[in-house]
Chains A and B, each alone.
Chain A
Amino acid sequence: MDNKIKKAYDARPKNWVFELVLAVIIIGLMVWSATAVETSGTNQNGGKIAINILSGIFHPDTKLLLNLTNQGVPYLLLETMCIAFMGTVVGAIISIPLAFITASNLSPKPVAFIGRMVIMAIRTVPSLVYGLMFIRVTGPGAFAGLLTMSLCSVGMVTKMYIEAIEDLDTRILESLDAAGCTTWQKIRYGILPQLMPNFASTAIYRFDINLRDATVLGIVGAGGIGAPLIFAMNSYRWNETGAILAGLIVLVLIIEFISTKIRVKLARG
């Protein structure tokens, strides 16, 4: 018995050359990337500053947190949520035609390749730059924020849509064909039921992410809770930062909980 185990153990696949090469590459990469770390900027006060920041964040400014006017956290959170919601809706709408053009089972290869490149280009441009461009269109404010957010969503949403479209079960269409259905009936009963839950689930997931990324918009003055947050941090008002962060974190966690529930329901039908 022991011999058998030993034999099987000795006969285990050995690809130590591959593993060694991989290890060398990974260690090499780590050493290479460690060269970028500058520690010169670190001073002795770092620890003290960190403690100050943390104590500020853990003693949030309750006046700001419970203020119900335009400047208070609740209103800012509502505005952020609206920006994220509209941004997701607009982004999802832009994504649908893009996804159908790029899905490799629907369109010819060159078109799909170009579509993929366009999506990648859209995804690469940092939100900062989009924010700048849209502020020219609409002026600073929530409108610019939602447009920025919608373009930022397009990359990921299209990618997931494409996957959903490529996973379409075409046998259903064939059987509908065989049953004598018209094109519209095929779309209504063959394609939409397959795609809708998937698309909705992706959009909800993206809504989560957009809510979390809303701070980025603040830096270009595109509305929402980002700008007050960055201002508070830049002027070392850590109590205000704490209040805003507390509101944001609680909101994101609640929305995430709800959206997970909905997505599980969508996935199980």
Chain B
Amino acid sequence: MSIYDKIFRPKTYTLPNGKSVQQKASRMPVAVVIILAMLILSIRITGFDMAVLVKRMNQFFVILGEMFPPKLEYLSQVWGPLFDTIKMSLLGSVIGSLLAVPFAMLASTNVIPNRAVVAIVRLFLGVVRTLPTLVSALIATYIFGLGTLAGTTAIAIFSFAYIGKLTYEEIETVDMGSFEAMEAMGATKTRAFISAIIPQVLPMYLSNCLFNFEGNVRYAAILGYVGAGGIGLILNEKIGWKEYSSVGMILVALFVTVFIIESISRAARKKLV
């Protein structure tokens, strides 16, 4: 019985057959109080004001209105950066996902019995994952110069941490029978991992990789802001020049691309899982 139950006594019901059951008091009031407190604090700090929102909401559509109709002539100049974006997302996702596999193995409690190793690798993955992609992209541009290589690096770093976490969670749910059998027959850990665990996690892993790739294509549009190449570069430029009809064209092109990639990847993932 926790402290909460001691303060708010559970209700007792007596059933017709003489048995009595207890219904614990609902935790709802506590949750409501906490959420309300956070809401009030947040509204105070961020200056959220419904009146302003209602009054000036039409301003939101000004830029949106200028984007349509999109400037079709601009399309010919969108292709290059668009394909650059896809290429850097693809390469970055693949490199990151492949790099993640050994780390995911080291971060799984059922493969590595050493708690310290698992904890260190997990902390490492956690810190890398928290590192904002924009920050890693900016650092990469200082090191590799402006261009797609910086974007690819940033995407690879993010994919590495993201896929690493999902994969070790997946590895921990596999059936360990065959792994133990192979180890008992004298296989090394790596060998047993490749033959016994990888086939089990492969469909889920590939599915996660595809999902990650989809997200990266979308995210790569922002990376242009720090000069990391791709479609973000021209997007940022056109926003700067307030040529919103060109921005509209870029967004439409991006939307169609993302739609195609998502459709392919959804079909592939349905087949995998």
Contact = CB atoms under 8 A, between A and B. Distances in A.
Given A42-B145, A129-B247, A124 B222 contact: no
A143 interface: yes
B99 to A, nearest CB: 15
Interface in B205-250: 218, 221-222, 225, 229, 232, 235-236, 239, 247
Given A35-B87, A126-B221, A249-B130, A43 B145 contact: yes
Interface of B (DSSP majority class) = helix
A138 B50 CA distance: 11
Contact of A212 (B59, B132, B138): B132
Contacts of B86: 33
Interface in A26-49: 29-30, 32-43, 46-47, 49
B87 A230 contact: no
A32 B86 CA distance: 10
Given A29-B90, A42-B145, A129-B247, A215 B45 contact: no
Nearest to B132: A215
Contacts of B182: none
A223 B150 CA distance: 26
A213 B132 contact: yes
Given A82-B41, A129-B247, A137-B60, A142 B47 contact: yes
A203 B138 CA distance: 30
Given A35-B87, A138-B53, A143 B46 contact: yes
Interface residues of A, number: 64
Contacts of B62: 133, 136
B46 A138 contact: no
Interface string B245-258: 00100010011001
Given A219-B225, A253-B130, A126 B235 contact: yes
Contact of A142 (B46, B60, B63, B91): B46
Contacts of B218: 123-124, 126
Contacts of B235: 126, 128-129
A134 B48 CA distance: 13
A252 B161 CA distance: 15
Contact of B43 (A86, A229, A230): A86
B131 interface: yes
B135 interface: yes
Interface in A72-91: 78-79, 82-83, 85-86, 89
A89 B39 CA distance: 9
A132 interface: yes
A49 B142 contact: yes
A27 to B, nearest CB: 11
A145 interface: yes
A30 B90 CA distance: 8
A248 interface: yes
B21 interface: no
A121 interface: yes
A246 B83 CA distance: 35
A141 interface: yes
Contacts of B272: none
A195 interface: no
21 contacts: A32-B87, A33-B87, A34-B87, A35-B87, A36-B87, A36-B152, A38-B229, A79-B45, A83-B42, A86-B48, A89-B39, A128-B221, A128-B239, A132-B63, A136-B56, A142-B46, A143-B48, A212-B132, A229-B135, A233-B139, A249-B130
Interface of A: 29-30, 32-43, 46-47, 49-50, 53, 78-79, 82-83, 85-86, 89, 120-121, 123-129, 132-134, 136-138, 141-143, 145-147, 212-213, 215-216, 219, 223, 229-230, 233-234, 241, 245, 248-249, 252-253, 256
Given A86-B48, A137-B57, A249-B131, 10 more contacts: A35-B87, A38-B147, A38-B149, A42-B143, A128-B221, A129-B239, A132-B239, A137-B56, A229-B132, A252-B130
